[in-house]
Amino acid sequence: MANRQTFVPVLAVCLCVFWTGCLAKRRVITRNGKATVQQLQTATEADLEQRITEQFKSIEDFNATVDMVPALGTTEKSKITEYKDVRGYILFHKPNDIRIIGLYPVVRSKAVDMVSNGSTFKLYVPAKNLFITGRNDIDTHSENKIENWRPQHFLEALLVRPPAADEKPILMNFTDEDNAAYILALVRIAANGSLHFSRSVWFDRINLHIARQLIFDNDGNILTDARYSQWQIYDGIPFPKQIVLNRPRDEYSVVLTVVKMDINKGVTEDKFALEQPAGSQLRTLSEAGLSPAPPLPPKAAAKKK
């Protein structure tokens, strides 16, 4: 009995020592390499859908001056060539008109000029004296990576669209010691009834700003990986100062840093006119990704038969 009476106080002292921190170690949770003390935000699936919709609807047009850091190649092939100090101009007008002009460093001559109206695109590469046209839905790949640039790739990254009618949203809370994000996964039902991820939109739980968007093909491969940071207010509308666009299949990525941004101040239709320069080589992309062969002259056609 005496031993039991002695044991109880000793146990109480040991527990007191443990819970007061003498034997406990306090760890500060760090995210992105920095200690965080901010209160994490909470949101529902409907809240996040509304944030996407409001952000998208708030922008009718914009005229942006950006610094661009293009990188050609992929990590899978262990070879990436990065270009610094490329100045860019991006023009947009709803619903789908977009034009991107990139200028070489120092000399500031035109490196690339491309435009799309939502269904077709035009791409001019002065260094190659090449003018490419085609439909947005034609998927082709060139050994010259800059020829894989498409205006719609940039538009998909710059403006995150609300969930489409055939996209079913599913909310995930991805919060651990390294991450604090909501992921809104958008699932599409195919005609045969199969399901596949079409997109996922990530929200930073510190401020509920959009932090990332992934766009997938039907086999689950990443088409676009866009990351957003340094959100600022331009003309009363929030917009990320930096956007990183990665297109792994097309073997290029571009870091866009906003230098100047005018939102909803009017961009006229003539700004999206891009005609083929005289003397340039025309390449029209077909379903096979090649220019259709010109018809044979009558005599040559008869001889071929």
Pick the CATH number of 45-284 from 2.50.20.10, 1.10.540.10, 3.40.50.2300, 1.10.357.10: 2.50.20.10
Return mean pLDDT, the chain. Answer: 85
> Using CA atoms, how far apart are residues 41 and 204, in angstroms rounded to an integer?
9
Please give the model's pTM, rounded to 2 decimal places: 0.81
Per-residue pLDDT at 295 exceeds 50:
no
Q: How confident is the model at residue 305 (pLDDT cuts 50, 70, 90)?
A: very low
Which residues is 72 bridged to in the sheet? Answer: 81, 252
Per-residue model confidence as pLDDT tens digits over 175-201: 988 899 999 999 998 888 888 999 999
Both tokens assigned to 209: 């700003």
Q: Is the pLDDT of residue 293 over 60?
A: no
According to the model, what pLDDT value does residue 99 have?
98
Mean pLDDT of 104-113: 89
pLDDT the model gives residue 28: 56
CA distance 112 to 127: 9
End-to-end CA, the chain: 114
Q: What is the pLDDT of residues 221-234, one digit of tens each?
A: 999 999 999 999 99
Residue 34 has pLDDT above 90, yes or no: no
Count how many Cα atoms sit within 13 Å of the Cα of residue 287 in the half-sphere of its side chain: 0
The contacts of residue 180 (CB under 8 Å, 6+ apart) are 31, 36, 40, 174, 204, 205, 206
Per-residue pLDDT band at 296 (split at 50, 70, 90): very low
Residue 24 is predicted with a pLDDT of: 61
Give the residue with greater pLDDT, 86 vs 80.
Answer: 86
pLDDT, tens digit (0-9, with 9 covering 90-100), for 53-85: 999 999 999 999 999 999 887 655 546 676 778
What is the average pLDDT across 40-59?
A: 97
Q: Which two tokens stand for residue 133?
A: 């046209």
The strand pair at 130-135 and 281-284 is best described as: parallel
